[in-house]
Amino acid sequence: MSTFVYGANVHANGIRQHYLRFGGQQGERKARPSVVIIPGITSPAVTWAFVGERFGLHYDTYILDVRGRGLSEAGATLDYSLDAQSSDVIEFAGALELKDYIIVGHSMGARIGARAAAIEPTGLSRLVMVDPPVSGPGRRAYPSKLPWYVDSMALARKGCSAQDMKAFCPTWTEEQLRLRAQWLHTCDERAIVESFEGFHTDDVFADFPKIRVPVLLMSAERGEVVLPEDVKEMEGLIGELAHVRVDNAGHMIPWDNEEGFYKAFGQFLGQHLTRVSQAC
């Protein structure tokens, strides 16, 4: 049985923000914390719906379309900076009156979550950073290259098949490729380029000491986005940090090892992300 409730838009931080909701019923606010999932650089909310289905068994779950992606607002003059993106999340939670919520951010979404957490927003209780890019001023470059994103988006804008997309994501399943081929065209190219450049100009390590909530860092066995030395440095900067490395997974962890991804949360969120909720 699906846990999907609805998709909607909210005006927050001066823009239209689109999201998908899983779990809690409309108008209902459960006692358990809410979860706000922030996808990566070219991942509209719909591509994380399979994760939302599992989270929805246990939590009132919201998956955001980051500005310039999916059905959220985009534009020739829209601010695509990390500061704007992190403010979006804080204002989104405020607009929906989330009193107790957890941010789960993947890749770029993890950097957004870290910047938001450093501001100490009201209601944020925990942060999960899933394989965050550790690039920045004076640091090694992010492993992926910009043409990979630009070329795949250009193909999607023309209209492409799952087989066409396989050239960019050779290990993905047919279903995963089909969804990416369908939705990638909704990513504003300037938003992607500016976010990618921000991977190398924004210093998220300066945000880490300001984070006052418990943090779970999840890293992938493959992909070399987060290395052991990065984990050690973050452990010295973040007051309360737990780390889990997911085996048999590259940067797109839930795509490569979905059950390993859920298992990695342990009880950090309050309960295990088992397939069947005892509360249902």
The token pair that represents 259 in the structure block: 């059950």
Cα 263 to Cα 107, 214, 253, 259: the distances in Å are 19, 18, 12, 6
Mean pLDDT estimate for the chain: 95
Residue for token pair 């797109």: 252
**For residue 202, is pLDDT > 80?**
yes
Give a yes or no: residue 279 inside a domain. Answer: no
Q: Is pLDDT at 276 greater than 70 in this prediction? A: no
Q: Is residue 162 part of a domain?
A: no
Strands 124-130 and 241-246 turn out to be unpaired
pLDDT in tens, 119-174: 999 999 999 999 999 999 999 999 999 999 999 999 999 999 999 999 999 999 99
Q: In the structure, what pLDDT confidence band is assigned to residue 34 with cuts at 50, 70 and 90?
A: very high
The SS3 call for residue 13 is coil
Decide if 159 is inside a domain. Answer: no
Is 175 contained in some domain?
no
Can you tell me the distance from the alpha carbon of 24 to that of 145, in angstroms, rounded to the nearest whole number? 39
In a domain, 169, yes or no: no
Is residue 278's pLDDT more than 50?
no
Query: How many domains does the chain contain in total?
Result: 1
pLDDT at 26 over 60: no
Q: Is residue 65 included in any domain, yes or no?
A: yes
Name residue, tokens 């059950």: 259
Count of helices and strands (H, E) across the chain: 10, 8
Residue 252 has, within 13 A of its CA and on its CB side, a CA count of 15
Is the residue at 125 inside a domain? yes
pLDDT category of residue 271 using cuts at 50, 70 and 90: confident
The answer to whether residues 58 and 277 touch, using CB atoms and an 8 Å cutoff, is: yes
Query: Mean per-residue pLDDT for 180-199?
Result: 98
Give the N- to C-terminal CA distance of the chain in Å, as an integer.
11
Domain membership of residue 8 (yes or no) is yes
Q: What is the CATH number of the domain that holds 98?
A: 3.40.50.1820
Q: In the prediction, which pLDDT does 210 show?
A: 98
**Domain span holding position 242:** 4-143+203-265
What does DSSP assign to residue 248? T
How high is the pLDDT of residue 209?
Answer: 98
- Mean pLDDT, to the nearest integer, of 245-255? 97
Confidence tier at 215 by pLDDT (50, 70, 90): very high
DSSP letter for each residue of 42-55: T--GGGGHHHHHHH
What is the model's pLDDT at position 279? 38
Run of H or E including 92: helix 82-95
* pLDDT value at residue 37: 98
62-109: per-residue pLDDT in tens? 999 999 999 999 999 999 999 999 999 999 999 999 999 999 999 999
Closest CA to 86 of 56, 63, 64, 117: 117
